[in-house]
Amino acid sequence: MRGIHNIWRLIRTGATLERTGAMNFVLDAFEAPKAVRMVAKAMAIPFKPLGYKGDPNLQPATRALTALGPAYIKFGQILSTRPDVVGDEMAQQLRVLQDQLPPFDVQTAKDEVERELGKSVCDIFSEFSEPVAAASIAQVHKARLHSTGEEVAVKVLRPGIERAFQKDVDAFYLAARMVELFSPGSRRLRPMDVIEHFDGVVQGELDLRLESSAASEFAANTKDDAGFELPEIKWDYSARRVMTLGWADGVSMGDNDAIDALGVDRVELSERILALFLQHALRDGYFHGDMHQGNLKVASNGNIIALDFGIMGHIDEYTRRVYAEILYGFIRKDYKRVAEVHFEAGYVPADKDVDEFARAIRAVGEPIFGMDADHISIARLLAYLFEVTERFGMETRTELILLQRTMVVVEGVARSLNPQINIWQVAAPIVTDYITKSIGPKAMMSDLTKTARVLSRFGPRLPALVEAALIRQSDVLPPSPKPFKRYIALAAVLGAGAATGVIALLGALG
């Protein structure tokens, strides 16, 4: 039955795309080949009357996705982070998706709170408002704790949202398989990986305990960051489908008039938001992955308040160093080094010419640096860089997609506050400081310490490992009446083990 449901859901999806006028736009955005277009049209045109009409005031793609429901809205938001997949024009349309849906009634929310927390709403809260915000997965209520009188925000998942999402995600997987089948050229963009990424993001957002944990980790990392704060998670009043956190008073980051009324310097604010993001990404490897104006507030004291921790980005230490070296190379106009880093990281196939790639990188960097300061854009640089790496056979780097997309969004926020911001001037000291700390002598000692710590864990097991190696060696050696030869064999085994350890240590240091 699931297969029949998936096919029917895809037919209904195609019919809605056709009815809203989004079909051709979507096919063009994905550069769909003739075979895919024929299949899509065949599944859509006969069933067009069954498609949802949607809001005619919206752009075609957003009109179709909002008509199809919460899973499609969320998928559209995720796709807005993938201009490499859907193209810049469609990504731009999807970024303005209004993440607003009709709220469910307050009594249903209260019932959900009581089921999850095991207490009456009246026992926990002295006040519990109507919904103040309703999104694709959950809605938020303003409340007041009975015990302390503190104002809090209570986030509650939509009823039945888990099952609804799972049904649609199954259909998305089927669609991705069909795209790969009918369009082999699309495999470079990894459509199945895109759906898996979406599935993982959604699963994280459907368990509010995970979002609470993400917020807690983010708060621990950033507790000493001046001018930045997060609402406190109320663990006693949070569960899988309910999340309670301190109420954040402030004005929207997108309201310049309100920010000016607070007396906050927007020039300094624009530089701070960009610097904070780079610090979180490079220093911690853990950053807010959805830093648009709707998730940012400005407090009366000028502090930046971040909200909504459903999408968080993580990059390992090695990838951070690669990313920082690429940015550092551009800052110094060392295009050969930028090219070498791509090859060293395996981002570009080894059979390509590094000098030719460096010249292509120069063609990306020089026009950017030739612009006026207020037009220099990391977002534009990343877009051009992707075009070049695509030409040289670089596959989609899923671990960098969210980082790059968030960089674009944060840059947009910074420019909305201060159109004359010099992005490179803000980024240079942060990237340089990170490079100094992560690649210099101190970093080498830190790497050595970590390597020694890992090796030390095997200390208690070394006798058994050596004994096992000796036994294996004795099994393959011919028996010898002379003990001296046995000792030579044992020494050879021990020497080989020591050499292996040294090689592993040197590899870790290198």
The answer to whether residue 499 scores a pLDDT higher than 60 is no
> Who has greater pLDDT, 92 or 167?
167
Q: Is 477 exposed, middle or buried (0-12, 13-18, 19+ CB in 10 A)?
A: middle
Are the C-beta atoms of residues 401 and 301 closer than 8 Å to each other? no
What is the DSSP annotation of 169-192?
HHHHHHHHHHHHHH-GGGGGG-HH
| DSSP state at residue 280 | I
Provide mean pLDDT across the span 355-380. Answer: 74
Q: How far apart are CA 93 and CA 79, in angstroms?
A: 10
CA distances, 505 to each of 317, 442, 449, 500 (Å): 18, 17, 11, 9
Q: pLDDT band at residue 489, thresholds of 50, 70 and 90?
A: very low
For residue 133, the Cα-to-chain-centroid distance in whole angstroms is: 23
The answer to whether residue 506 scores a pLDDT higher than 50 is no
Residues 6+ apart with CB under 8 A from 228: 222, 272, 276, 303, 304, 306
Q: How far apart are CA 273 and CA 253, in angstroms?
A: 10
Tell me the pLDDT tens digit for each residue of 382-408. 666 766 776 777 666 666 667 777 887
The answer to whether residue 482 scores a pLDDT higher than 60 is no
Joined tokens for residue 18: 């056709």
The answer to whether residue 258 scores a pLDDT higher than 60 is yes
Q: Are strands 242-246 and 312-314 parallel, antiparallel or unpaired?
A: unpaired
For residue 432, the Cα-to-chain-centroid distance in whole angstroms is: 24
Secondary element (H or E) of residue 93 = helix 88-95
Name the region of 233 (left: φ>0; alpha: ψ -120 to 50; beta: rest): beta
User: For residue 76, which of 52, 66, 381 has the smallest C-alpha distance?
Assistant: 66
- Residues with active-site annotation: 290
Q: How far apart are CA 326 and CA 343, in angstroms?
A: 11
- Specify the amino acid at residue 97: L
Are the C-beta atoms of residues 18 and 49 closer than 8 Å to each other? no
> Who has greater pLDDT, 242 or 484?
242
Q: How far apart are CA 269 and CA 292, in angstroms?
A: 14
Secondary element (H or E) of residue 305 = strand 304-306
71 three-state secondary structure: helix
Q: pLDDT band at residue 461, thresholds of 50, 70 and 90?
A: confident
The answer to whether residue 1 scores a pLDDT higher than 50 is no
| DSSP state at residue 139 | E
* Mean per-residue pLDDT of the chain: 80
User: For residue 404, which of 317, 331, 300, 319 has the smallest C-alpha distance?
Assistant: 319
Whole-prediction pTM: 0.72
Q: How far apart are CA 259 and CA 249, in angstroms?
A: 13
Q: pLDDT band at residue 98, thresholds of 50, 70 and 90?
A: low
Residue with tokens 């026009």: 367
Provide mean pLDDT across the span 283-312. Answer: 91
SS3 breakdown of the chain: % helix, strand, coil, rounded to 5? 65, 10, 25
Predicted local confidence at residue 508, as pLDDT = 39
For residue 353, the Cα-to-chain-centroid distance in whole angstroms is: 31
CA distances, 239 to each of 105, 118, 209, 387 (Å): 20, 10, 6, 44
Tell me the pLDDT tens digit for each residue of 159-204. 988 888 888 888 888 888 877 776 665 565 567 877 887 787 778 7
Q: Is 326 exposed, middle or buried (0-12, 13-18, 19+ CB in 10 A)?
A: buried
Range of weakest confidence among 183-197, 228-242, 355-369: 183-197
Query: Please, what sign has the CA dihedral across residues 475, 479, 484, 485?
Result: negative
The answer to whether residue 288 scores a pLDDT higher than 80 is yes
What is the DSSP annotation of 202-234?
HHHHT-HHHHHHHHHHHHHHHTT-TTEE-PPB-
Question: Could you give phi then psi for residue 129, rounded to 5 degrees?
Answer: -85, 170
Query: Please, what sign has the CA dihedral across residues 66, 72, 75, 80?
Result: negative
Provide mean pLDDT across the span 410-433. Answer: 86
Q: How far apart are CA 161 and CA 137, in angstroms?
A: 7
User: For residue 415, which of 319, 236, 249, 292 has the smallest C-alpha distance?
Assistant: 292
Instruction: Lay out the sheet containing 251-252: strands in order across.
Output: 228-229, 304-306, 296-298, 251-252
Secondary element (H or E) of residue 296 = strand 296-298
